[in-house]
Amino acid sequence: MYHALVHHRIVALFEAVGRGDAQPVLDAFAPRFAHAFLGRSALGGTRHSLAATRDWYARLYRLLPGIKFDLKAIEIAGPPWNTLVLVDWRESNHGADGVTTENFGRHVARLRWGKMVELTICPDTAGLQATLDRLATAGFTEAHATPIED
């Protein structure tokens, strides 16, 4: 039953991100957490505060508007005090330049008593970098900005 509730909540969080609403994700974090995105890009790095994580989602939406996720698999293991969640996905977006792109990857989350203490986003970093390079060439300088970290 617990895993079914977690599954439902994870799907709802991805749907919220797809609507451009990061607040449900921010609300899902524990008071102490790590939000990491693999790679050394404008979206890379690790954040530990809600303010920096909110800024990260705002940048995500500016660079990759219309982002939508197609969840391929969700695996959940462990008890409520130490739950591991793996989500495999494909995403599409319109790009700040209007060009539709796709990527794939995995979210790895650790939950304690229903709150995320760790979230690591593992995209195809080469594909993402190609998109960010294209955006930077088109004049979207934020695509090559320093990662938002704290």
Instruction: Identify the H or E element spanning 85.
Output: strand 83-93
Q: How far apart are CA 142 and CA 136, in angstroms?
A: 7
Distance from the first to the final alpha carbon of the chain: 36
pLDDT of residue 140: 98
Q: What is the arithmetic mean of pLDDT over 35-46? A: 97
Q: What long-range pairs does 101-109 form, CB within 8 A, spacing at least 24? A: 101/64, 101/127, 101/131, 102/127, 103/127, 103/128, 103/131, 108/84, 109/10, 109/84, 109/85
CB 35, CB 62: distance < 8 Å: no
Average pLDDT over all residues of the chain: 97
**pLDDT score at 136:** 98
Dist CA 12 CA 23 (whole Å): 12
Q: Residue 79: pLDDT band by 50, 70, 90 thresholds?
A: very high
Region 40-59 average pLDDT: 98
Q: Where are the domains of the chain?
A: 2-144
Mean pLDDT of the 3-32 span = 97
Is the pLDDT at 74 greater than 90, yes or no? yes
Cα–Cα dist 51/49, whole Å = 5
- Average pLDDT on 93-114 reads 96
List the beta bridge partners of residue 106: 88, 122
Per-residue pLDDT for 50 more than 90? yes
What pLDDT, on the 0 to 100 scale, is given for residue 1? 87
Second-level CATH architecture of 2-144 = Roll (3.10)
At 85 the pLDDT is 98
